[in-house]
Amino acid sequence: MMKSPTIKPVAAVGLALAFACGPSGAADLMAGQAAFEKFACAACHGADGKSSVLPTYPVLAGQHADYLQHALRSYQRGASGSGAVNTRSNAVMTALVPQLSDADIRNIAAWLSSLPSDLAVRR
């Protein structure tokens, strides 16, 4: 009987981080907070990412980072006018997101997902 190879715990963690961070590197939470402030996201979503000025604006704190990245990139595609699928359209967001770099998107998403929020699975 052939034994299956085992992965050392340290190697497994490193491998998981490599997949989670993707080819462009790890997210920087401090840079994410700085970008959130720089691009005045708090004006609509609140400084804590969960105190939106209108009930129609989404709570961002505690959302999954990959979801937030996808949403921001969808707004970028919508702003480009390319007619690509999976686009989002909102006058404020489509004016702001073209200014965001890939690193800004990754960092903002990581920072927001790290914030405490009522967005959680309760058991």
Which tokens belong to 76? Answer: 């970028």
Indicate the pLDDT class of residue 89, thresholds 50, 70 and 90.
Answer: confident
| Residue 107: how many other CB atoms lie within 10 Å | 24
- Angle between helix axes 65-80 and 102-114 (nearest 10 degrees) is 140
Quote the longest CA-to-CA distance of the chain.
63
Please give the CATH superfamily to which domain 28-114 belongs: Cytochrome c-like domain (1.10.760.10)
Delimit the domains of the chain by residue range.
28-114
What value does the mean pLDDT take over residues 43-70?
A: 94
The rounded distance, in Å, linking the Cα atoms of 51 and 49 is 6
pLDDT score at 2: 53
Neighbours of 38 (CB within 10 A): 13
Average pLDDT over residues 70-98: 86
> What is the pLDDT confidence band of residue 110, given thresholds at 50, 70 and 90?
very high
pLDDT in the model for residue 109:
98
Q: Measure the CA–CA gap between 59 and 119, rounded to whole angstroms.
A: 8
As a whole number, mean pLDDT of residues 29-39 equals 97
Burial class (CB in 10 A: 0-12, 13-18, 19+), 122: exposed
16-27 per-position pLDDT tens digit: 444 444 445 689
So what's the pLDDT on residue 119?
Answer: 75
- Between 9 and 90, the higher pLDDT residue: 90
Cβ 112 vs Cβ 31: under 8 Å? no
Give the percent of the chain with pLDDT over 90. Answer: 57
CB distance 36 to 72 below 8 Å:
no
